[in-house]
Structure 1
Amino acid sequence: MRNELFAALLMLPLCAAAVDDFPPVTVEERHCMAEAMYYEARGEGWLGMVAVGAVIKNRVDDRRYPSTVCGVVHQGAERNDRLCAFSYYCDGLPERPGNQELWELAQLMADAVLSSGGVSVDGVGAATHYHAMYVTPWWAPALDRQGCIGNHVFYK
């Protein structure tokens, strides 16, 4: 885990351009991003977390989706039908990170993704969707597969 934290810290300057060029990140947006990265990709290391963050940013930048990180992450929760865009948010379980090291890594990666103008991750590109390899969602055949990172497949 220490190696992952070290690699993550080395990556921060690469992800963060001139921070003044981008709107300030609210505590709430940072929390929503870190929470999604943690629950969706905590077993995938820093690259998997950044890949999930890239999808969230891609959705924020796409007019078909909400224009905020929290709006994207919580999309679908208002329907109360467990069809959330990010399944952890509608699973009925409280969001309490159980692994402090991975939670801290998710917060670092959220900062890196949110403080950059855009995140380019090989295998993600302009992806707005992803899923775990062990499921096949109904929407997957209609989208263009971009690649795989860890246990996730990415689509646009």
Structure 2
Amino acid sequence: MKLKKVILSSVLALGTFTFFFAPNGNAAGPSHVVQRGDTLWKIGIKYGVSVNELKRVNQKTSDIIYVGETLNIPQNVTAYEKDLLARLVEAEAKGEPYAGKVAVAVVVLNRVDSHLFPNSIRDVIYQKNQFTPVKNGAINQPASYESKKAVDEALAFRGQGSGSLYFYNPVKTSNTWLRAKTVTVKIGNHVFAK
């Protein structure tokens, strides 16, 4: 009887381990059954995950997907991190074009992926003297729907841009170090640079 309990416990533990971890060793997230009209880009935006990561987790070397195919959705960013990033986007890019909101979120994600900055969204956002909304408390205001959508798009776009690590409003800053960085794009009132 004791041996049966040990075997049953082992089987249950192994089953639980298999359920929570995908074959590639990543925490298993939800899955998505491909529907007509789906693209990796649309799926990435829907779940707020990088298209590159979506391809990697599903061992895809191209963007081709098939109706009825089941894709594993990677879990890279927590709900807290998405909300925090959306609140930063709202505070930094309120009144800016939608593309500018996406670009602000991309800068944060690029910093997370860079060896020059902390390696989490929270730590990048709260890094000392980096973002005015952290200093003035605007980061604590709720994000708009548009800022949340911009974060999902930035997450889907992650790893595919020009590598912007900074942004600034040239009217509001005279920082010569920042202005000396290579400009990647100008959107609205913001200059993005690396």
Unpaired runs of 5+ residues, structure 1, are 1-11, 77-83
Report whether the alignment pairs 1:55 with 2:107: yes
Q: State how far apart, in whole Å, the 1-side matches of 2:119 and 2:77 are.
A: 13
1:133–1:25 distance in 2 versus 1, CA, 3 Å: same
Check the 8 A contact 2:112/2:119 in 1, yes or no.
yes
Check the 8 A contact 1:15/1:119 in 2, yes or no.
no
**Paired residue total:** 130
Check the 8 A contact 1:54/1:119 in 2, yes or no.
no
Aligned counterpart in structure 1 of residue 82 of structure 2, from 26, 30, 37: 30
Check the 8 A contact 2:108/2:125 in 1, yes or no.
yes
Check the 8 A contact 1:127/1:146 in 2, yes or no.
yes
1:89–1:119 distance in 2 versus 1, CA, 3 Å: farther
Identity %: 27
The match for 1:71 is 123
The match for 2:165 is 128
Q: State how far apart, in whole Å, the 2-side matches of 1:25 and 1:87 are.
A: 23
Q: Which has the larger radius of gyration?
A: 2
Q: State how far apart, in whole Å, the 2-side matches of 1:117 and 1:127 are.
A: 11
With normalisation by structure 2, the TM-score equals: 0.59
Give how far 1:95 is off: 2.0
Report whether the alignment pairs 1:110 with 2:155: no
Q: State how far apart, in whole Å, the 2-side matches of 1:13 and 1:44 are.
A: 24
Unpaired runs of 5+ residues, structure 2, are 1-40, 46-50, 58-73
Flag the structure with more relative contact order, 1 or 2, with Cα contacts below 8 A and sequence separation at least 6: 1
The match for 1:40 is 92
The Cα RMSD (Å) is 2.4
Aligned counterpart in structure 2 of residue 90 of structure 1, from 135, 138, 153: 135
1:154–1:42 distance in 2 versus 1, CA, 3 Å: same
Give how far 1:59 is off: 0.5
1:94–1:29 distance in 2 versus 1, CA, 3 Å: closer
1:109–1:19 distance in 2 versus 1, CA, 3 Å: farther
Query: Amino acid of the residue matched to residue 90 of structure 1?
Result: K
Deviations 1:119-141 (A, max 9, x none): 53xxxx21111101212224224
Q: State how far apart, in whole Å, the 2-side matches of 1:88 and 1:59 are.
A: 17
Q: State how far apart, in whole Å, the 1-side matches of 2:55 and 2:148 are.
A: 17
1:14–1:132 distance in 2 versus 1, CA, 3 Å: farther
Check the 8 A contact 2:87/2:141 in 1, yes or no.
no
Query: Amino acid of the residue matched to residue 169 of structure 2?
Result: A
